A and B are shown apart, each in its own frame.
Chain A
Amino acid sequence: MSELDLAGRVELLERMWLIRAFEEKVSELFARGQVVGLIHLGIGSEGSAVGVCSALRSDDYVFGNHRSHAHAIAKGADVDRLMAEIAGKASGYCKGKGGSMHIAAPEVGFVTATGVVGGNVALALGAALTSVTTQDNRVSVAFFGDGAGQSGSLHESLNLAALWKLPVVFVCENNGYAEFSPLSAHTVVERLTDYASVYSIPTVTVDGGDVMEVRRAAVSAVARARAGEGPMFIEVLTHRLRGHYEGDPAAYRELSEREEWTVRDPVARFRAELEGAGVAADTIAATEAAARSRIASAAESAVAAPGPDPEEATTDVYAV
């Protein structure tokens, strides 16, 4: 599974472009007032979502967080329904009830996403426990940021996953900022992998700017989990080019840092890598064009779609 031929790698680039185009479009719609509310973008960290999800089976479980558009798309979510959800439309994944932070696409294994930092981690353990009891051999992934690293939820989950040897992969996207402040304002621990090591969970730190490096780590973590050897913790050093939420001026960040990460942009970097490996320039250009066109169409449909019937607000409180 770890070795991808050139065509397979082009597919990864396509998926990264789809995410990049999607999020840039969301930002654009937000600026125009066509998308409102709390929107958290992960532009610049596509390598993490695509690298990890490319190592998963379609029936493996992913539990997202507040910044999970990329995770959902990487897991196979439909961009039309996702865009419609973010635009608050009835045709969205959750009929407009969840929005950007609460995507659910269980048919592609994206079970739920939580807006509370750290809130999704224990849930992934539960799905993993289900897989152990039903012997369906699925693996569960929890995506969370460095900001969740200090939560009791993460630490209780790390302990329990190790204790019960659950098939979970913890993916910590360390973008260096917890909401509006640098990680150093939140912990004296320099390497977040230390949190997992305490519970005897094997760890690896990878460069989120290199999708193939992320993928290799994920393939090995997933194989380990599937073989019944227990959890693993992957720290992905990544970056978000936008602020914490759309509208955040991000004045807490150094300009030089942003420039550095623009150079390390996982999409541009992978694109150059594939060019170097002999993929035709036309083919590469087509990946971006196809993604942008697909997303333009999704955005157009989402903006034009009718909003939910107000009465819908009182349905789906209870399953019947």
Chain B
Amino acid sequence: MEDTREMLYAEALVGALRHQLATDDRVHIMGLYFLGLTPHRQMVAELRDEYLDRFYYPPIAELGYVGTAIGAAMAGLRPIVDIATASFMFEAFPQIINEAANTYYMSGGRTAVPMIFHFNHGVRGGGAAQHSHSPQAMLWNTPGLEIMAPSTPRDVKGLVKTAAASDNPTAWVDHVRLFDTSGPVPDDEDFAIPFGVADIKRAGSDVTLFASSWLVQRALEAAELLEQQGIDAEVVDPRTLSPLDEEAIIESVAKTGRLVVVDECHRRCGVGAEIMAVVTENAFGDLRAAPIRVTTADVPVPFSPPLEEHIEPTTDKIVAAALEVTGH
């Protein structure tokens, strides 16, 4: 039995950054909004005060500072660059997509880009269309990037450790709604979660709920509600999209025969679309009903709370989809 300590996601996140700074001189951090504008950001400020010479507070010019972090990685540092709100990442897309993701390949494996891009994605409550993007599907369509999407304090610790050791550029898909969640985190300083290994967050036999990042929490909540109606849901969290643990998803569907894919990307060509494709290509014969996607609607994210709730993947919508796919 491993020794663990209960903590907030925000604490586990800062702990993971502190561990990397303490154990690897090559780790330098650019940007300070890992914890968004939440009160928890004070923890990041304290960490910066501990490592003043390894934190950089760049001007609001994502193209320039993200490009600088990429160049630093090419020259031997292991930068962790925070882009704050995921929507701002588009300002740096030329550097992330064209340089960071391509360089190892274009150079025939001669120039590596070992770094992490952190950003907070998704509906945050009143962020409106330009502060609420979930760009993980766009990133996933870019060979050369690794993509991790932790959903628990335990996972954020273990995944950051692996990303920091990787010689590849890794997109760290994060969500402000996770920061106040809590859970057990292993004490072991060397605890790492390998990329490409999904986690069954809840075992069940009637329906598979695929979800990542913050929506794992909603899928778990939906599973509790479904249990009250006699439906035993399994929650599969891929933890990393690139690489993707296809096996775990296929195995779960083989067991349940029914699939609901929960995804905060827009519906068209979102992460959910790819999961549907993986399952239909590999486990078509196991499906006992047409799978259903619960995604953000194909509209820009609106500002007003009732509008926002109408288009996002809520717990109620996950429950309704699971009922439908199981024939209730």
- From residue 77 to 131 of chain A, which have CB atoms closer than 8 A to chain B? 92-98, 102, 104-106, 111-112, 114, 116, 119, 121-131
One of B59, B69, B108, B144 near A159 (C-beta < 8 A)? B59
- Asked if B183 is at the interface of the complex by the 8 Å CB criterion, the answer is no
Partner-binding segment picked from A183-191, A235-243, A311-319: A311-319
- C-alpha spacing A72/B72, complex, angstroms: 20
Q: Give the chain B neighbours of A316 by CB distance below 8 A.
A: 104-105, 108-109
- Asked if A152 is at the interface of the complex by the 8 Å CB criterion, the answer is yes
Quick one: given A122-B95, A133-B28, A133-B77, are A317 and B111 in contact (CB under 8 Å)? no
- Asked if A157 is at the interface of the complex by the 8 Å CB criterion, the answer is yes
Quick one: given A106-B111, A131-B75, are A121 and B94 in contact (CB under 8 Å)? no
Q: Is the CB of B94 within 8 A of A126?
A: no
Q: Is the CB of B68 within 8 A of A317?
A: no
- Asked if B63 is at the interface of the complex by the 8 Å CB criterion, the answer is yes
Per-residue CB proximity of B101-140 to A under 8 Å, as 1/0? 0011111111110100000000000000000000000000
- Asked if A153 is at the interface of the complex by the 8 Å CB criterion, the answer is yes
| Min CB gap B172→A, angstroms | 16
Q: Is the CB of A94 within 8 A of B72?
A: no
Q: Is the CB of A126 within 8 A of B74?
A: yes
- C-alpha spacing A92/B56, complex, angstroms: 38
- Asked if B143 is at the interface of the complex by the 8 Å CB criterion, the answer is yes
Q: Give the chain A neighbours of B106 by CB distance below 8 A.
A: 94, 97-98, 102, 104, 112
Q: Give the chain A neighbours of B166 by CB distance below 8 A.
A: 319
Quick one: given A104-B106, A319-B109, are A153 and B69 in contact (CB under 8 Å)? no
Per-residue CB proximity of B49-77 to A under 8 Å, as 1/0? 00001101011010111111111111111
Q: Is the CB of B110 within 8 A of A129?
A: no
Q: Is the CB of B99 within 8 A of A114?
A: yes
Q: Give the chain A neighbours of B59 by CB distance below 8 A.
A: 156, 159-160, 163
Q: A101: nearest residue on chain B (CB-CB)?
A: B106
- C-alpha spacing A160/B95, complex, angstroms: 15
- C-alpha spacing A46/B90, complex, angstroms: 37
- Asked if B208 is at the interface of the complex by the 8 Å CB criterion, the answer is no
One of A93, A130, A156, A160 near B76 (C-beta < 8 A)? A130
Quick one: given A123-B74, A129-B72, A130-B72, are A95 and B108 in contact (CB under 8 Å)? yes
One of B56, B64, B70, B112 near A319 (C-beta < 8 A)? B112
Q: B67: nearest residue on chain A (CB-CB)?
A: A122
Q: Is the CB of B168 within 8 A of A318?
A: yes
How many residues in B have their beta carbons less than 8 Å from beta carbons of A? 44
Q: Give the chain B neighbours of A130 by CB distance below 8 A.
A: 71-72, 75-77
| Min CB gap A108→B, angstroms | 11
Q: Give the chain B neighbours of A319 by CB distance below 8 A.
A: 104, 109, 112, 114, 166-168
Q: Is the CB of B108 within 8 A of A127?
A: no
Q: Is the CB of B71 within 8 A of A104?
A: no
Q: Is the CB of A112 within 8 A of B112?
A: no
Quick one: given A104-B108, A316-B105, are A127 and B95 in contact (CB under 8 Å)? no
Q: Is the CB of B105 within 8 A of A317?
A: yes
- C-alpha spacing A133/B113, complex, angstroms: 17
Q: B69: nearest residue on chain A (CB-CB)?
A: A126
Q: A316: nearest residue on chain B (CB-CB)?
A: B109
- Asked if A63 is at the interface of the complex by the 8 Å CB criterion, the answer is yes
- C-alpha spacing A47/B105, complex, angstroms: 31
Q: Is the CB of A94 within 8 A of B110?
A: yes
- Asked if A61 is at the interface of the complex by the 8 Å CB criterion, the answer is yes
- Asked if A134 is at the interface of the complex by the 8 Å CB criterion, the answer is yes
| Min CB gap B138→A, angstroms | 18
Residue of A122, A130, A157 contacting most chain B CB atoms (<10 Å)? A122
Q: Is the CB of B104 within 8 A of A153?
A: no
Q: Is the CB of B64 within 8 A of A153?
A: yes
Q: Give the chain B neighbours of A315 by CB distance below 8 A.
A: 109
Q: Is the CB of A63 within 8 A of B71?
A: yes
Q: Is the CB of B71 within 8 A of A124?
A: yes
- From residue 285 to 326 of chain B, which have CB atoms closer than 8 A to chain A? none
Quick one: given A116-B98, A318-B168, are A127 and B75 in contact (CB under 8 Å)? yes
Q: A114: nearest residue on chain B (CB-CB)?
A: B99
Quick one: given A98-B108, A102-B106, A319-B167, are A127 and B74 in contact (CB under 8 Å)? yes
Q: Is the CB of B111 within 8 A of A156?
A: no
Q: Is the CB of B67 within 8 A of A125?
A: yes
Q: Give the chain A neighbours of B108 by CB distance below 8 A.
A: 92-98, 104, 316
Q: Give the chain A neighbours of B64 by CB distance below 8 A.
A: 122, 125, 153, 156-157, 159-160
- Asked if B146 is at the interface of the complex by the 8 Å CB criterion, the answer is yes
Q: Give the chain B neighbours of A104 by CB distance below 8 A.
A: 103, 106-108, 110-111
One of A126, A128, A156, A159 near B70 (C-beta < 8 A)? A126
| Min CB gap B289→A, angstroms | 35
Q: Give the chain B neighbours of A96 by CB distance below 8 A.
A: 108
Q: B115: nearest residue on chain A (CB-CB)?
A: A126
| Min CB gap B241→A, angstroms | 14
Interface residue ranges, B against A (CB under 8 Å): 28, 53-54, 56, 58-59, 61, 63-77, 79, 94-95, 98-99, 103-112, 114, 143-144, 146, 166-168
Closest 7 A-B residue pairs measured CB to CB? A126-B71, A122-B67, A156-B64, A123-B71, A104-B107, A94-B108, A319-B167
| New A-B contacts (4) at CB < 8 Å, excluding given A105-B110, A317-B105 | A97-B105, A116-B98, A153-B67, A316-B108
6 contacts between A and B (CB under 8 A): A111-B71, A129-B68, A129-B71, A130-B71, A133-B77, A316-B104
